[in-house]
Amino acid sequence: MVKALNDLQPDSGDLINDAYEAAIDFGAHPNPRSIFPHVRAGDKDDYYVVRLITLYSTDQFEAKRALLAAVEYGIAIAIVGIRAKATASQELADKLNGVIDLRDSLEAEIRMMAAG
């Protein structure tokens, strides 16, 4: 799929694939990078206890990070779609720029959360 997209539109397959992989890494579905930070393990009495905490409220860092990854993936798809058109309307470009501005705001909020 990546090669086919790249053949149609240079670098578009790589863009979509990289965005997809990042979305997975940052919460799109279970994988080691998204799960291991939530595992707590240790001795308790005569047992070894492993806990996995997975619930987040909408204002928590992990939920916002996953949302940011989804938005970035959507932007990558939109860019490829716009590039596929012979001519893109100014309205379409303005809407995409609005989404990019929202993404930038969300990213700034997440960076502030991470900084403490």
Instruction: Please give the model's pTM, rounded to 2 decimal places.
Output: 0.60
Report the alpha-carbon distance of residue 103 to residue 68 in Å, rounded: 7
pLDDT digit string (tens) for 11-45? Answer: 888 988 888 888 777 766 666 776 778 788 899 89
Report the alpha-carbon distance of residue 96 to residue 91 in Å, rounded: 9
Specify the pLDDT at position 77: 85
Confidence bin at 4 (pLDDT 50/70/90)? confident
What is the token pair recorded at 19? 């965005």
What is the token pair recorded at 22? 């990042």
pLDDT digit string (tens) for 79-110? Answer: 888 877 777 788 888 999 999 999 999 999 99
What is the token pair recorded at 20? 């997809």
Average pLDDT, the chain: 84
